[in-house]
Structure 1
Amino acid sequence: MVKKLETKKLLIGKTKEEVIELLGKDYNENCAGWVGDKTICYVAYDPDDLGILDHYEFVICLDSKNMVYKVSCEYI
């Protein structure tokens, strides 16, 4: 699901509140490795891998108006 959200840019232009409404309240702010960007991130497990240790961090970058301008799916 997160790969589709990233590649189709479905969240670009949405507000932080709209993203939280769609993806839920289980997120972190100011994601590691994204210095200078205002971010929120969600942990997303890899559906193709049975091991729970392999997962993605879905990073959502917000501008000064709390609008999404970039998303990235990082394998961690």
Structure 2
Amino acid sequence: MTDLATINITEKQLDLLLSGLRYVKSAEKLRVEEPTPEYVRSRSEKLEEIKTLENTLNSSPRNQSAAQI
């Protein structure tokens, strides 16, 4: 992923976004499906993308009034 977007959100909005990502990650982990190689690969890719996004959001510089992402 080489394209980056910059948005201004408040700390509260950032916390809400991270909370939503945790929910999505949990839902993906708890999803019950036949463990075919395709499903396992797809699930692993999704979980890795979520982890990367969480890390990006958590490491973004934060100001008092807004977080730059």
TM-score bracket, shorter-length normalisation: 0.3 to 0.5
TM-score (norm 1): 0.33
Q: With structure 2 as the length reference, what TM-score do the two structures score?
A: 0.35
**Higher relative contact order, chain-length normalized (CA < 8 Å, sep 6+):** 2
Higher fraction of strand: 1
Q: Look at both structures and tell me which one has the larger radius of gyration over its CA atoms.
A: 2
Greater per-residue helix proportion: 2
